[in-house]
Chain A
């Protein structure tokens, strides 16, 4: 027995962690943990300002660190694609750094929305545990308190989003998926107004999210059974070496694909998206619609380009089908919507379909155009949801489209900015949406997917109809007598709307710098 212990003990080496390469994620998680301490020890009056400084500072610092890693010659010196860090758990390469930088900027703008407190105390419940309509809830509302836990929860979610596309093995990816999802489930249920809808959204998101992560995990188990490892490169090697049981491999790809496509909200896994986007507090919807989508696409790209890169011909037909039903389903159902947040949710489903056409190309052009589209769409969608928070009636936000009638006559600026975001979603030239759509469709044609591009063009034409209808409603119809008011936003929402609008216009008129950055990020694909 002693000989056995003696023989085994020395072979456990100390893990080597590259703290410098992981510093953006470590900073965000560190700020999140510090936020929990602020919540516990700071006096209530000071909490919000402490949290704001910590959250915005943490995200900005992580962005600076991301740039520092991107220009680090020890990572990319000698034409290297990147480096594997943390004992093979994390891949640090150019596409990942582009995605992480995008997530950090978009999260920063979303936190500006979360911090808005001028129309009411905040967008979040005074006490989420208090039953709606109870005396306890009224006490909290009268006292003017709000949940400041939203800031650390947001940081934990953003930390998970940073790790999700960077994970080089499927176990890390699963843990990151849960770290990003669990805080979002809670954030969805914290709305100050319409709490029944908010709680229902949280329950639906949670049950469906847990269901889909079970599928993701079973896919991981199948791939582990196939290759004996959860490392993406090892799975790719086993797949191209044609060793192991092919049934396990294909079952694994399918189940893993279900888990990832659920997070993206592709048809037929889109059922949660409209309900959750409508019910969640609008700043949280903005966070989900931008950052979660970017992170989920980052993970999908890494898995399908690295682990299944040799099997393009096997997964492409299924992804074609998903992309087609996503583009058509999202745009057709968008026509029937009467709620502005649901309309934006279905539009987000259709946009996910357009980005999927870039993913399917499985080339550097496909990768770079997807990266550009994600960044451009993220800014526009945050801006659109920011405008939604401004149009209010006594019950909170006026989501129903009928109350948006004539908005352009009473507040031309707000309606004009919203119209700008809508035409960007529709892909009209001189906006970022046009450049993004052009780039992904061009990549898809380069990848031989002409029918997909035809369906994409038809879907864009269908999707333009609900957008134009909203614009016509805002500018060419009479406002109702008891219509909503457009509140004067504080500096937080104003800057979120301004950043969104500016990015949409600048990326539409001079897209060259960001396109080149995305192209440079994509030239060597992901590190293996």
Chain B
């Protein structure tokens, strides 16, 4: 029997995979995809909690999160595209002018 608790455990695992992805991947686009994975893990946990509590707040919040994530993609891809056109590279290791 699959209970809401299983979904929350899955959401936590996905969130951690996303977090590790942000920390270890080198391509800015993949880093950004990992952030999106984290947001989707959050959505899953909102919906599982919504089921657990029997109110609809969590489902409504999931829609808000999707809209905000879409807005974030617009801004993020604009920034990543401009930096890729300048440097011919999307690696976060190459962006190293600002330090110390």
Contact indicator A207/B32 (Cβ below 8 Å)? yes
CB distance from A304 to the nearest CB of B (A): 21
User: Interface size of B by Cβ–Cβ distance < 8 Å?
Assistant: 44
CB distance from A215 to the nearest CB of B (A): 8
Interface residues in B10-59 (C-beta closer than 8 Å to A) = 11, 15, 18-19, 22, 28, 31-32, 35, 38-39, 41-42, 45-46, 49, 52-53, 55, 57-58
Docked Cα-Cα span, A26 to B28, in Å, equals 36
Contact indicator A218/B38 (Cβ below 8 Å)? yes
Q: When the two chains form the complex, which single residue of A131, A206, A275 contacts B99, counting CB atoms closer than 8 Å?
A: A275
Given contacts A202-B79, A217-B39, A218-B15, contact A225 B72 (CB under 8 A): no
Contact indicator A218/B82 (Cβ below 8 Å)? no
Contact indicator B68/A174 (Cβ below 8 Å)? yes
Most buried by A among B61, B79, B80, B99: B79
A237 at the interface (CB under 8 A from B): no
User: A182 contacts which chain B residues (CB < 8 A)?
Assistant: 71-72, 75
A171 at the interface (CB under 8 A from B): yes
User: B71 contacts which chain A residues (CB < 8 A)?
Assistant: 178, 182
B98 at the interface (CB under 8 A from A): yes
A5 at the interface (CB under 8 A from B): no
User: A279 contacts which chain B residues (CB < 8 A)?
Assistant: 98
Q: When the two chains form the complex, which single residue of B39, B92, B95 contacts A214, counting CB atoms closer than 8 Å?
A: B39
User: Interface size of A by Cβ–Cβ distance < 8 Å?
Assistant: 43
Docked Cα-Cα span, A274 to B38, in Å, equals 26
Contact indicator B98/A221 (Cβ below 8 Å)? no
User: A211 contacts which chain B residues (CB < 8 A)?
Assistant: 19, 22, 35, 38
Q: Interface digits, A91-129 against B, CB 8 Å rule (1 contact, 0 not)? A: 000000000000000000000000000000000000011
Docked Cα-Cα span, A197 to B71, in Å, equals 24
CB distance from A398 to the nearest CB of B (A): 17
Given contacts A210-B35, A218-B45, contact A200 B76 (CB under 8 A): no
A203 at the interface (CB under 8 A from B): yes
A196 at the interface (CB under 8 A from B): yes
Q: When the two chains form the complex, which single residue of B58, B61, B100 contacts A336, counting CB atoms closer than 8 Å?
A: B100
Contact indicator A186/B79 (Cβ below 8 Å)? yes
Given contacts A199-B86, A210-B76, A211-B22, contact A275 B49 (CB under 8 A): no
Q: Interface digits, B74-100 against A, CB 8 Å rule (1 contact, 0 not)? A: 011011101101110000100101111
Closest residue on chain A to residue B55 by CB atoms: A228
Contact indicator B32/A221 (Cβ below 8 Å)? no
Docked Cα-Cα span, A278 to B64, in Å, equals 33
Q: Interface digits, A208-228 against B, CB 8 Å rule (1 contact, 0 not)? A: 001100100110111011001
Docked Cα-Cα span, A202 to B86, in Å, equals 13
**Knowing that A204-B98, A221-B45 are A-B contacts, what are 11 other residue pairs whose CB atoms are under 8 Å apart, sorted by A's residue number?**
A128-B82, A186-B79, A196-B97, A197-B97, A199-B79, A206-B76, A207-B31, A217-B65, A218-B41, A228-B49, A229-B55
| 14 sample A-B contacts, Cβ–Cβ < 8 Å, listed by A number | A129-B82, A178-B68, A186-B79, A200-B98, A202-B83, A203-B28, A203-B95, A210-B32, A224-B57, A225-B52, A228-B57, A230-B57, A230-B61, A337-B100
